[in-house]
Amino acid sequence: MKIGIIGLGLIGGSLGLDLRSIGHTVLGVSQKESTCQTAKNIGAVTHATTDLKLVAQTDLIFICTPIHYIFPTLQQLSEYLQPTTIVTDVGSVKTPIVQQCTTLWSNFVGGHPMAGTAEQGINAAQNNLFVNRPYVITPTLDTPPHSVQILADLVSSIGAEVYTQYSPEVHDQAVAWISHLPVMISASLIDACMSEPNTQILEAAQKLASSGFASTSRVGGGNPELGVMMARYNQEAILRSLQQYRQTLDHLTHLIKTENWSSLQETLETTQQARPHFID
Amino acid sequence: MKIGIIGLGLIGGSLGLDLRSIGHTVLGVSQKESTCQTAKNIGAVTHATTDLKLVAQTDLIFICTPIHYIFPTLQQLSEYLQPTTIVTDVGSVKTPIVQQCTTLWSNFVGGHPMAGTAEQGINAAQNNLFVNRPYVITPTLDTPPHSVQILADLVSSIGAEVYTQYSPEVHDQAVAWISHLPVMISASLIDACMSEPNTQILEAAQKLASSGFASTSRVGGGNPELGVMMARYNQEAILRSLQQYRQTLDHLTHLIKTENWSSLQETLETTQQARPHFID
């Protein structure tokens, strides 16, 4: 297949490496000439330029830009493409993107590969990044089933675990729970600790923090731009999760305040038993 | 040195292994005969019985029982001991224990080895568990400095990073921030996700949860008894942290609600920069 990739960062570059390794032709586009050169050097693309026209004759295009460039990129692209070209994206929020893009390009299929590393950029690209990782494809009632199938087969061929049964809205509320809410509650943990006015307590907290704090604060200490993007593009679902979270936190606080240890025990038993349903 | 260890679980057993390996005589006491036998078999103790009198002639005793048995154990012990015997504990909360125990035994020194694994019990005991891990010793104004020094030297000799400068109160508020608060906010995350009424969203969340959710939910899915003990014995400090945490979470929620993306960006930059001060 002749495949275009717009945006040669961690995800775009890694897709290129894997797709080329199974025999596809990969045409890459980046805003930076130096990124195009690196992508060629590491073998992530067959050719790469800074000119979008390069991908005009492809069968399928992955838009791997930051979320806010996805729709503008499709707008520019749509002038060159043939109607048979399938266009997909890799944004972590789907409802607003799928709505906008499907209206413009009927052969648009929303996608979200749930893979990543702490690193970013073409130099972080790696082979087999998607193996056994969820890759969610979110068709609407209007998405051509044939195009969904082609994309599903393609990402399945690079080892991803493909899900096609969730709507953009279900996807967005699910990732609000398991990805975006954790960022906000984890960031608030760091923020709250930093607000400790007693300097000796703050110093002791900083010196003694170990694996429990490290785990719980990990995603709250991540990329700020990414956190803001989650909140902007998935605002409604995040707010819904935050509201519900605040209620469960208030309930747990109430149990501690009223010394209702048996109910606290029950709650913690429930969470202990529930976690393996998320993490296997 | 002749050392007693009461309670042969993960911590007691691991202390025994390390202390014996550097030449000390270790006398162990457990409520269960089978645990005594295992402790002997793995080499964690020189001798072990179910009778507290075994440790009557020791120089220093570690009480490694669950928190609520520490004071009752010291009460029983105090009938057999010589006044020169130093008694310490390994409880994760210090203020109530140090208050009670120091009143009864002037040669009591509170301690908290901040080491552990997900496993419990004598079968989880391991060599070098304390190497490069914080070991907090919390003297009061009345604690004999000589006894503090002996304990500090001993745990330092098994590789621990010893802190003796924090009072029980400073220790307790610091661990509320970095250990107990994380458990409560992490448990509330799991609890909130489970409250999702839409079964398709809940199913998607469970299938798609990955490393971000795994990290943030880890300590909330831990031992319920331990969580209740933290809350019971460190109630005041935990409630203080929870109250402050709720304010920072409300502030962050407000920024998302009012679409104040520049302030959200600043907050997430602050937390990104602050985290390395806790985790090095």
pLDDT at B280 over 80: no
Which residues on B lie below 8 Å from A190 (Cβ)? 271, 274-275, 278
pTM: 0.92
**Co-location of A127 and A193 in the same domain:** no
Q: Chain A closest CA to B82's CA: distance in Å?
A: 34
User: A150: Cβ–Cβ under 8 A, 6 or more apart, which residues?
Assistant: A60, A86
Of A133, A166, A199, the one marking the end of a domain is A166
Domain boundary pick from A166, A188, A222: A166
CB A252 within 8 A of CB A271: no
Same domain, yes or no: B113 and B22? yes
Return the ∠ at Cα A270 (arms to A264 and A271), rounded to 5°.
90
Specify the pLDDT at position A205.
Answer: 97
Say if B1 is an interface residue toward chain A (CB within 8 Å): no
Q: Tens of pLDDT along A184-197?
A: 999 999 999 999 99
Q: B50 by DSSP, 3-state: which?
A: coil
Measured CA to CA, the distance from residue A53 to residue A37 in angstroms comes to 18
When pLDDT is averaged across residues B93-114 and rounded to a whole number, the result is 97
Q: CB distance from A264 to chain B under 8 Å?
A: yes
Q: Kindly list the residues from chain B whose CB atom is less than 8 angstroms away from the CB atom of residue A201.
A: 170, 173-174, 177
Clarify whether residues B145 and B175 are in a common domain.
Answer: no
CB contact under 8 A, A210 and B114: yes
Say if A31 is an interface residue toward chain B (CB within 8 Å).
no
Let me know whether B184 and B131 are in one domain. Answer: no
Q: Are both A274 and A157 inside the same structural domain? A: no
Show residues of chain B in contact with A204, CB under 8 Å: 163, 166, 170-171, 173-174
In chain B the first and final C-alpha atoms are separated, in Å, by 35
pLDDT band at A280 (very low <50, low <70, confident <90, very high): confident
Which residues in chain A are closer than 8 Å to B204, comparing Cβ atoms?
Answer: 163, 166, 170-171, 173-174
Mean pLDDT in residue range B209-225: 94
% of chain B beyond a pLDDT of 90: 96
CB atoms A271 and B205 under 8 Å: no
Test B208 with A178 for CB contact under 8 angstroms.
yes
Structure confidence by residue, pLDDT tens digits, B108-130 = 999 999 987 777 899 999 999 99
Helices B261-278, A199-208: axis angle to 10 degrees equals 70
pLDDT in tens, A249-261: 999 999 999 999 9
Nearest CA in chain B to A135: B208
pLDDT of A39 above 80: yes
Report the gap between the CA of A140 and the closest CA in chain B (Å).
16
Per the CB < 8 Å rule, is B264 touching A227? Answer: yes
A116 and A133 co-located in one domain: yes
B241 in contact with chain A, both atoms CB, cutoff 8 A? yes
Interface predicted TM-score (ipTM): 0.93
CATH number at residue B236: 1.10.3660.10
Question: Are residue A217 and residue A121 in the same domain, yes or no?
Answer: no
Roughly what angle, to the nearest 10 degrees, separates helices A168-175 and A235-257?
Answer: 40
Judged by CB atoms closer than 8 Å, whether chains meet at B253 and A264 is answered as no
Question: Using alpha carbons only, what angle is made at residue A213 by residues A277 and A261, rounded to the nearest 5 degrees?
Answer: 65
Do A183 and A87 belong to one domain?
no
> Which of chain A's residues have a Cβ under 8 Å away from the Cβ of B241?
192
Measured in angstroms, the CA of A257 and the nearest CA of chain B are apart by 7
Q: Count of CB contacts below 8 A, A vs B?
A: 315
Please tell me the total count of domains within chain B. Answer: 2
The Cα–Cα gap between A135 and A110 comes to 11
pLDDT at B204: 97
Question: What is residue B177's predicted lDDT score, i.e. its pLDDT?
Answer: 98
Q: Are B36 and B94 in the same domain?
A: yes
**B15 and B128 share one domain:** yes
Per residue in A141-200, pLDDT (tens digit) is 999 999 999 999 999 999 999 999 999 999 999 999 999 999 999 999 999 999 999 999
B209: confidence class by pLDDT, cuts 50, 70, 90: very high
For chain A, the residue count is 280
B183 touches chain A (CB under 8 A): yes
Q: Give residue-wise pLDDT tens across range B178-192.
A: 999 999 999 999 999
pLDDT at B119: 79
A240 touches chain B (CB under 8 A): no
Position A119 scores a pLDDT of 79
A117 has pLDDT over 80: no
- Percentage above 70 pLDDT, chain B: 100
pLDDT at A116 over 90: no
Q: Given this model, what pLDDT does residue B101 score?
A: 98
> What pLDDT does B87 receive?
98
Residues of B in contact with A206 (CB under 8 A): 277-278
Inspect the interface and report whether the beta carbons of B242 and A249 lie closer than 8 Å: yes
- Inter-chain touch B210–A171, beta carbons under 8 Å: no
Note whether B216 contacts A212, CB cutoff 8 Å.
no
* Beta strands in B15-58, from DSSP E residues, in sequence order: 25-29, 47-49
pLDDT at position B174 over 90:
yes
| Interchain CB distance below 8 Å, A269 and B224 | yes
Pairing of strands B111-113, B60-63: unpaired
The mean per-residue pLDDT over the stretch B149-154 comes to: 98
Whether A237 shows a pLDDT value over 90: the answer reads: yes
Q: Does A246 touch chain B (CB under 8 A)?
A: yes
Same domain for A38 and A119? Answer: yes
Looking at residue B228, what is its pLDDT?
96
Which of the residues B216, B255, B272 would you substitute to probe the A interface, choosing the one with the greatest number of A C-beta atoms within 10 Å?
Answer: B216
Would the CB atoms of A231 and B256 count as touching at under 8 Å?
A: yes
Does the beta-carbon distance from B253 to A244 stay under 8 Å?
no
- Could you read off the pLDDT of B49-92 as tens digits, one per residue? 999 999 999 999 999 999 999 999 999 999 999 999 999 999 99
- The strand pair at B60-63 and B2-6 is best described as parallel
The string of pLDDT tens digits covering residues A101-114 is: 999 999 999 999 99
Contact B270 A245 (CB under 8 A): no
Q: Which two tokens stand for residue A108?
A: 């648009």
Residue A115's pLDDT band, with cuts at 50, 70 and 90, is confident
CB pair distance less than 8 Å for A188 and B245: yes
Query: Residue B116 is part of a domain; what is its CATH number?
Result: 3.40.50.720
User: For residue B17, what are the domain limits?
Assistant: 2-166
Query: Tell me, what's the pLDDT at B116?
Result: 76
Nearest CA in chain A to B234: A256
Give the count of beta carbons closer than 10 Å to the beta carbon of residue A132. Answer: 9
Tens digits of residue pLDDT in B28-51: 999 999 999 999 999 999 999 999
SS3 readout for A26-77: EEEECCCHHHHHHHHHCCCCCEEECCHHHHCCCCEEEECCCHHHHHHHHHHH
The C-alpha atoms of residue A119 and residue A126 are separated, in whole angstroms, by 11
Q: Which two tokens stand for residue A148?
A: 């969904």
* pLDDT value at residue B120: 85
A43 and B CB contact within 8 Å: no
Average of per-residue pLDDT across B156-178: 97
Choosing from A166, A194, A219, the residue where a domain stops is A166
pLDDT digits (tens, 9 = 90+) for A52-91: 999 999 999 999 999 999 999 999 999 999 999 999 999 9
Please give the mean pLDDT across all residues of chain A. 96
- Say if A217 is an interface residue toward chain B (CB within 8 Å): yes
**Same-domain status, A135 and A217:** no
Predicted pLDDT of residue A120: 85
Q: What is the mean pLDDT of residues A19-36?
A: 97
Residue A225 with chain B: CB contacts under 8 Å: 265
CA A215, A280, A98, A80 torsion-angle sign: positive
